[in-house]
Structure 1
Amino acid sequence: MYLRFQSNVLMFFSALKNPMKRIYFLLVFSLIGVSLRAISNIRITPVPSLPQLPVSAIHRIFQDSEGMMWYGTVNGLCCDDGYQISVIRSDINTPGLLNDNTIQSIAEDETGRIWFGTDHGAYILDKATRQVTPLDAEQLQTSFIYSIRKTSDGYMWIATGHRLLRYNTLGELQKTYLLYDHEGKPSWMAGFCESRQKQILITVGREGIYHYDKKTDTFTRYANPPSERNLTCIVQDRTHNYFWVGTSSSGLLLFNPSAPKDSVYTYSPLPVNPMGETEGEILYMEQDSHEGTLWMTTRSSLIAMRYDEAHRSLHQTDFRLPAEYGNMLNEIYQDKEGNLWVASFDGKSFIIHFTENAPEEFTLPALQQRVRFQPAIMALSDAGEGKMWISQERTGLGLYDLSRHEVMLYSDVFALKPLALGSIKQMTESRREGNVWVIPEGRNLIYELGREGMRMKHIRTLSLPDKAKRHFTQTYEDRNGTLWAGTNNGLFTFNLRDNQWYTVCDTLGQVSALKEDKQGNLWIGTTNKGLYQQSSKGKCKKIPSPLSITCLSVQEDSLIWIGTQEGGVYALNPQTGKLTDHTRLCGLNGNIVNQLEFDVYGHLWIDTNQKLIEYNPKNHSFSTYLTTDNSMLLRRFIPTAICKGHDGRIYFGGIPGICAVTPSARLDQPSKNIPTFITGTYVMGKPVTHENSLTLHPDEYDLDIHFSSLDYLNASKIRYAYRLIGLDKEWNYTAVGQHTVNYKHLPHGNYVFEVKATDGYGIWSDKITRLHIERLPAFYQTGWAITLYILLLATGLFLGLRFYLRRMKLKNEELYADSTELMKMRSYLNEKSVPQAEVRISDMEFAKLDEILLENILKAVEENLSEPDFDVQHLAQKVNMSRSTLTRKLKAITGLTPLEYIRRVKMQHACRMLEDTRATVNEVALALGYYNRKYFTTCFKEEYGITPSEYQKQQGKRDTSESKEG
């Protein structure tokens, strides 16, 4: 815009002959030029939370002391934390909360409570508890509250009808001021302003400007009203003591209370809306803190005007509001950051914000006029003197003068028409001033072109001999006069002095990037074979790196930066070979990295299809430009359209034009240490209120915490870090835009929740917000319950031990009785013993004991015949012996192992059972604990040499023969 203005001025001056006129218009145009430069730094963004509002139209906007935004709508009071909207209104959830849901005014008192007025009454909202209390229902219940203001002395001023009421912070009415016009008819308060000198001024309908006299507690008219009696809004100038006053038909007035009575009002020309019509009615007004521009909403538009103090004149800037934001605008409000929020009735409510070093935009009107469709710049290179080599899709190579807006296409030059310049997607700057190397897409051709003024000329054509299947992909001319040329399957050089081609390596695959470092080494990126280094001594070696390289850039400290097809950004240290991943640090999410370029501040510019990132590797801060957020002209970045200009700026081409970004040190600045606010806590899905501490009851196990830095323009770029001291050992980091955390089933105890945020550039703030959380234990987790558990456990152990000791005592008594009986028997036998007996008394004792043991073993086996799992261990337990002792003892008595003995007893019982011919083999097997009939048959056969069936048949024949004999 500014360059287009400059070119028009140059043509205008050339037509002027009178020197005095030239001087006069030079002054005028210089003022307009300053205005245009300021306008170029203005950005318009729709209010991000608009889709969440109950209605799309906003008519009141307010920011509280914490930075929270509040909106007045016809369907309630809306609170915006940058991510979510909460609504205060009467509805099915809160019936009867308000008499009327139409919000007309919003303010905040000294205690942080929100006062708001409706069509029927005023209310006070406690932000902490969300409790709404009617204000002075006796006076205001049915009143239309169109204005609420707070003054520095803490009083709240409420305007309704022809009354102005003053309340203290407690909501107690202090005084009512009646407003009448000069004819004694009821009037109204139109504007309210407290000056820097703590003086209160109001504009009264049909009456003029009044000021408040604290001594008499009355309002007094300043001076006779202007000819235009219907005044609207009033604001004090930001740097001077005069005031700006809106009117209903005469535009803007300058009101200077210090001027003589006959000159306190100064009129200015009426502003003009985008339709070319004059606008006399000023509805709302603000003066920005950026350039001191006066912004005002009128009947049909938003207008910006600036006052020239030197010439005492007010002139309109070149700002024009896009049609998508509507014509029926309401309030305009300036927030703490100096952004202007504008409420729209028939369009999107929006934010006007001011950016430093905003990209300069080139819409290329001359090119657009030539090609008859919007520009699509596929490649570009600086040609010097404000001119740029460009490649326009479907049109081909061209030369564009960005300052004069002139264009020359290759087809305009007869000598260039035979050349294949219709589709160019790769071009690099030549070492000869103004020249460029271009590669026709998919061709074994390289052209060098130069210029004389705006006229293009062909310098030379290069092609690889006898390489029909090769095509060029990249070029780079080094400081030694060698042209490096990458192809789809290798790297070649062309010596510009002897005009000879040389093969460097024809097995690299497709070359995607060529960069030279300070030491003269050439770095070669390929699409599927990674990174190579061609040293200044002529040696080529492969470097461990990602394979799918799309672009390279060399930093001042000689780090090699790599962009990949998978969306990664890496830094390679050539000295150590260390590869550092910066992908997440610079805000990438997997989109292909098209180009990398360093600026003079050492910031890396990362180009993707819809996002441009400025990244500072020193502190990992970054700034993002999106094609979808109106932050720059381009709706799409073209992967091959980037170049560093001779002026130090970086130029990006795309649709529909070119943008130039000016490097700055903004990413080197320390963090602003922005605070993070806890905007909501939800227990079991329901909102709860708290100050700095929260108590959870035993049955409350689900906790959600919402937080926000209240940075509305950058909410989608901000990250948060949180931890719960007492549970988390390290910080947890959220994804970009995530602003909630959930805890389920917290153990009982005391915790401290901590959260912090980044600023819009990704720098972490040192300010940490804390919330103390206590989760109460359930009864079974209390100290009393634990004491009871210990007592019960001790009692159980005591009773168990007592039972065990009693049982052992009984067994010992039984053993003692048995041993006593045995001793008696031994004494008896000794008394009756015969010296000539062959068996000694001790042997008889042991035989008797063995007989008793064998009886016990047999009894135990017979009692467990049907148990399939009855084994040696079980048998040992039954006879109160260890397994090893049982095995040794039974082997000594019977010659059988315990398992063999168990099987023999079972087989003996099987024989007796099979003697009954009515019993089946399967029934017998099951009765003896054999669930596998085949295994039972095997065991039986091993014991008796025949199967159970054969044994049963033999028994049947024997019974038959015995019956016959009988």
Structure 2
Amino acid sequence: MVEKSIIPAVSTTPIPTSKKYTYLLVKILTCTLSLISALTVYGNDESVVWRDFPELYSQEVIDIAKDTSGCLWLGTANGLGRYDGYSLELFKTGRDCRVLSLDIDSDQNIWFGTMQGAYVLKPDSNKSVPVDSSRIHWKQVPNIHATPDGNIWIVQRGYLRRYDKNGNWKRDYAITDRSGNPTTLSGFCYSREKEIFITTFSPIVYKYNPEKDSFFPIANLGIDTALGKIIEDFREKYFWIADHTGNIYRFNPDAGQGTQFITSKVVSPDEPGRTISVHDMAQDITNGNIWVAGRTCLVLFTKDSEGHLVPAYHKMNPALKGTLVESIKASDEGIWMSTFGYKTMLLPYKHNTVNHTLFGFDENQTREPLITSIQEDSTPGYYWVVQNRHGLILYNSKTGAVQNHTLLTNESLRLHVASEVIPSQKHNGIWVLLERSMNAHRLENDNGQIRFCQTINPGAQVPSEATATTAFEDNTGNLWIGSTDGAYRYNPTNGNMNAAAAPGCYITDIVQGNDNDIWLSTRSRGLIQITPEGKTISHTKMTHGIIALAAAPNGWLWYASDNGKVIGFNHLTGEIEDLSESLPLNGAEISDIAADQFGHIWIKTPRTLTEYNPRNQEYRTHDVSHIKTPVEVFLSKFTHGENGTLVIGGIGGAEVFHPSNSLDRQNSRIQVSLTDITSAGKELLPGSRTVKSSDNEIQLQASLRNINISFSTLNYKHVSKVRYAYRMYPYEQQWNYTREGENKAFYNQIPHGKYQFQIRATDENGVMSDSCSTFLFNFKPAFYQTWWAYLIYA
């Protein structure tokens, strides 16, 4: 059993320093050899954040609460656990480890009920102690509530028991159902007005009178039903109460008799007309939506203008439909749900409803696309797609309609061997390159139909063995074709094809700078600058080959080399910037590079995508692993869409990224907490929680070896994307940087003395904080290193 503590920083000190993004996943599935049957649009910020806990024998999480430090406490089938976003630590919970309920009082004591009594875990202890062994020990405690007035309310069959924060018994209150038989409490709510409302398995709502220290009935539904959970509306002065027959009641205790309850039915989304027994519910504190856990499904309700509940099945993420939820809790970052025997999930606020559109999907289709080139059409919603072995198609993502190249009457176009699509800036439509050819076709989208416009056939002007490698249309409408034997310029106005530059060179990429000059990258001859008319201006030789090139809005050129480097080049000043050491590429092969409208550089490897801001050296890695069917391998080049989007395809579909200026935003102040300190596997922090004293010094022996320090921002939505910078100052002058998802610092041994352990972290946009959290460490000397030991030696 491992126990940890969380220590707040002594201070958050500003220091000088030198993602938010949204992207859409476009999944294109083929239903025949050449047709696409579906395109699914996902939003990253709208996705469900799933959490599993390998520390648990069972993934069953029964209850959830959060302490003031930001740590989540979980009542699980395997005991009480604390989660910091990276790992779950379990605490001993007596003879029966199944935690049924938990709550946290104002002193941060953790109160929890089990199958065999109630326990409390204090901040300065790693072990829980039983509560009131004479009355409730060995008895089931299904609910426990800590209220701000200092009372602890413990529920057992037939009784609601009140204790103070020291665990001293105060009073018992009898609980009976609608037949007068002893039962358990079904609902408990402490309101904003500091009033307590309870429900039992009866149609009556009770209110606590502190002066008389008793509960009195204040409303009777008037029908034979069993009221369940009660929650207060996050804004309005009324409550929501569920019963066990498929109803939710809006309850206004101040309304007149007969008007206190307004009923809404909880109906199955799959079987209209069948009501669902409500197991649990919680409210989104940003928009008032009500999440209801039924016995067989999860249901979402919105509120109309009059405050009535309206089913909103269409707004639910399909991944949630049919989910069996055990408990739902509202927190400051979103709705936490624990599912039966599966995973715990977070639905972040403002993005907890997702509208997925899926057209023409064939459930029997098993073949996934292999997209080698994709380009957004000038008509919104249309994409030109090249699939390996299947050729070119035009796809309407709004309707699912597909226009295939085989439907064209001109079979000589050979569009089944299309290799790349290039947008036409001055002409409608696209240019299409063909495999093992110098020919190119211009096509247009004619109301969803592919229309042939013209063919470029260089003829004798190009060596017979040359084949096209890339192409680019400049801002005057000229088409530049790079080949295995130099670059060529085609003028669509007069039909002339001229050799432009670099004869005998393999052209890997073509871009146009902000001064209108054309830049060519080559495998062996470096960079070549030419005028729009085709006159060579400069030739910058390189010691390595260039595989991809991008022109940034500020005039810089960025290229990926064949030896795995990313280089920035200012041709006006000769300045060069090498990003290879500062980016987490891990030796992966770089296959393409692009610049967006904000000047950010996008670097593509087969499985990752990194966005870099040259102005502040911030970066983030775009991860699609959380999406149900991500693009497994990126194959196509970057292409630019109409609104600045970046489109990229691969095995399994294509992705459309919407760049933003989030990496340019001002660095934020981010608090980091220490969550663990170990030496050779031994825990070194006392207690189970945050040490509250802001001037507390962490004292350790300098003789300790293999010291691991763990930390966390407790940002549960973005924890896998957070990077940290840390140092033990003044032992270390330079910062150490972690990779995304890593939260540990390691030291073999620290000399005796006093230090400041400083930590910085990135926010959800990947921007490093402009402040550091500081922790005071005192590594105490061994006996033989003390001053009085030196006196003895003398």
TM range (shorter): 0.7 to 0.9
| C-alpha distance in 1 between matches for 2:473 and 2:509 | 13
Aligned residue in 1 for 2:536 = 539
Cα distance, 1:147 vs structure 2: 1.5
| C-alpha distance in 2 between matches for 1:83 and 1:185 | 46
Cα distance, 1:720 vs structure 2: 1.8
1:418 aligns with 2:412: yes
1:347 aligns with 2:342: yes
1:234-633 alignment to 2 at 5 Å?
234-274=230-270, 278-310=274-306, 312-319=308-315, 327-338=323-334, 340-353=335-348, 365=360, 373-386=367-380, 387-415=382-410, 417-466=411-460, 467-507=463-503, 509-536=505-532, 538-543=535-540, 547-565=544-562, 567-583=564-580, 585=582, 587-630=584-627
Judged with a 3 Å threshold, the aligned counterparts in structure 2 of structure 1 residues 732 and 780 are, in CA distance, closer, same or farther, namely same
Q: Give 1:723's aligned amino acid.
A: R
| C-alpha distance in 1 between matches for 2:356 and 2:389 | 22
Judged with a 3 Å threshold, the aligned counterparts in structure 2 of structure 1 residues 164 and 56 are, in CA distance, closer, same or farther, namely same
SS at match of 1:646: coil
Aligned residue in 2 for 1:100 = 96
Aligned residue in 2 for 1:715 = 719
Q: Aligned pair count?
A: 744
| C-alpha distance in 2 between matches for 1:354 and 1:586 | 31
| C-alpha distance in 2 between matches for 1:584 and 1:658 | 29
Judged with a 3 Å threshold, the aligned counterparts in structure 2 of structure 1 residues 258 and 594 are, in CA distance, closer, same or farther, namely farther
Aligned residue in 2 for 1:883 = none
1:72 aligns with 2:66: no
Judged with a 3 Å threshold, the aligned counterparts in structure 2 of structure 1 residues 675 and 263 are, in CA distance, closer, same or farther, namely same
1:62 aligns with 2:65: yes
Aligned residue in 2 for 1:159 = 155
Listed one character per residue, the Cα deviations across residues 471-527 of structure 1 (whole Å, up to 9, x for unaligned) are 101111223342110012321112223322222234463322211112111122234
TM-score by length of 1: 0.71
Contact 2:432/2:441 (8 A) holds in 1:
yes
Q: Give 1:425's aligned amino acid.
A: S
Contact 1:283/1:330 (8 A) holds in 2:
yes
Residue number among 615, 635, 647 corresponding to 1:651 in the alignment = 647
Q: Give 1:558's aligned amino acid.
A: G
SS at match of 2:635: strand
Cα distance, 1:341 vs structure 2: 2.0
Residue number among 131, 147, 150 corresponding to 2:146 in the alignment = 150
RMSD of aligned C-alpha atoms?
Answer: 3.2
Judged with a 3 Å threshold, the aligned counterparts in structure 2 of structure 1 residues 55 and 73 are, in CA distance, closer, same or farther, namely same
- Radius of gyration: which is bigger? 1
Aligned residue in 2 for 1:784 = 788
Cα distance, 1:104 vs structure 2: 0.8
Contact 1:359/1:659 (8 A) holds in 2:
no
Hey, which of these two has a bigger chunk of strand by percent?
Answer: 2
Judged with a 3 Å threshold, the aligned counterparts in structure 2 of structure 1 residues 40 and 219 are, in CA distance, closer, same or farther, namely farther
The range that moved more, 317-326 or 154-163, is 317-326
Contact 1:725/1:751 (8 A) holds in 2:
yes
Contact 1:146/1:159 (8 A) holds in 2:
yes
1:734 aligns with 2:738: yes
Judged with a 3 Å threshold, the aligned counterparts in structure 2 of structure 1 residues 141 and 360 are, in CA distance, closer, same or farther, namely closer
1:940-955 alignment to 2 at 5 Å?
none
Judged with a 3 Å threshold, the aligned counterparts in structure 2 of structure 1 residues 318 and 432 are, in CA distance, closer, same or farther, namely same
Q: Give 1:575's aligned amino acid.
A: L
Judged with a 3 Å threshold, the aligned counterparts in structure 2 of structure 1 residues 231 and 563 are, in CA distance, closer, same or farther, namely farther
Listed one character per residue, the Cα deviations across residues 608-640 of structure 1 (whole Å, up to 9, x for unaligned) are 43334444443344444323112x863235432
Cα distance, 1:436 vs structure 2: 0.7
| C-alpha distance in 1 between matches for 2:742 and 2:206 | 50
| C-alpha distance in 2 between matches for 1:133 and 1:156 | 15
Contact 2:528/2:536 (8 A) holds in 1:
no
Aligned residue in 2 for 1:706 = 710
Judged with a 3 Å threshold, the aligned counterparts in structure 2 of structure 1 residues 374 and 478 are, in CA distance, closer, same or farther, namely same
Q: Give 1:389's aligned amino acid.
A: W
Judged with a 3 Å threshold, the aligned counterparts in structure 2 of structure 1 residues 212 and 732 are, in CA distance, closer, same or farther, namely same
Identity %: 27
The range that moved more, 473-482 or 531-540, is 531-540
| C-alpha distance in 2 between matches for 1:142 and 1:784 | 55
| C-alpha distance in 1 between matches for 2:339 and 2:104 | 23
| C-alpha distance in 2 between matches for 1:616 and 1:359 | 30
Q: Give 1:350's aligned amino acid.
A: M
Listed one character per residue, the Cα deviations across residues 523-546 of structure 1 (whole Å, up to 9, x for unaligned) are 222344433222457224333567
Unaligned runs of 5+ in 1: 4-35, 90-96, 791-966
TM-score by length of 2: 0.86
Q: Give 1:556's aligned amino acid.
A: P
Residue number among 62, 85, 88 corresponding to 1:85 in the alignment = 88
Residue number among 717, 724, 729 corresponding to 1:725 in the alignment = 729
Cα distance, 1:98 vs structure 2: 0.7
| C-alpha distance in 2 between matches for 1:159 and 1:343 | 22
The structure whose RCO (Cα within 8 Å, separation 6+) is larger is 2
Listed one character per residue, the Cα deviations across residues 889-910 of structure 1 (whole Å, up to 9, x for unaligned) are xxxxxxxxxxxxxxxxxxxxxx
Q: Give 1:82's aligned amino acid.
A: G
Contact 1:44/1:352 (8 A) holds in 2:
yes
Listed one character per residue, the Cα deviations across residues 216-271 of structure 1 (whole Å, up to 9, x for unaligned) are 22222221125362222222222322222222122322222233321222222333
| C-alpha distance in 2 between matches for 1:62 and 1:103 | 12
Judged with a 3 Å threshold, the aligned counterparts in structure 2 of structure 1 residues 583 and 317 are, in CA distance, closer, same or farther, namely farther
Cα distance, 1:564 vs structure 2: 4.2
1:217 aligns with 2:209: no
Residue number among 755, 770, 775 corresponding to 2:759 in the alignment = 755
| C-alpha distance in 1 between matches for 2:755 and 2:386 | 62
The range that moved more, 656-665 or 179-188, is 656-665
SS at match of 1:592: coil
| C-alpha distance in 2 between matches for 1:83 and 1:717 | 12
The range that moved more, 530-539 or 321-330, is 321-330
1:125-140 alignment to 2 at 5 Å?
125-140=121-136
Q: Give 1:512's aligned amino acid.
A: T
| C-alpha distance in 2 between matches for 1:603 and 1:123 | 54
Judged with a 3 Å threshold, the aligned counterparts in structure 2 of structure 1 residues 701 and 385 are, in CA distance, closer, same or farther, namely closer
| C-alpha distance in 1 between matches for 2:295 and 2:95 | 30
SS at match of 1:52: coil
Hey, which of these two has a bigger chunk of helix by percent?
Answer: 1
| C-alpha distance in 2 between matches for 1:698 and 1:497 | 79
Aligned residue in 1 for 2:8 = none
Q: Give 1:78's aligned amino acid.
A: G
Contact 2:371/2:636 (8 A) holds in 1:
no
Contact 1:389/1:399 (8 A) holds in 2:
yes
SS at match of 1:418: helix
Contact 1:116/1:123 (8 A) holds in 2:
yes
Judged with a 3 Å threshold, the aligned counterparts in structure 2 of structure 1 residues 609 and 310 are, in CA distance, closer, same or farther, namely farther
Aligned residue in 2 for 1:636 = 632
Judged with a 3 Å threshold, the aligned counterparts in structure 2 of structure 1 residues 546 and 382 are, in CA distance, closer, same or farther, namely farther
Aligned residue in 1 for 2:769 = 765
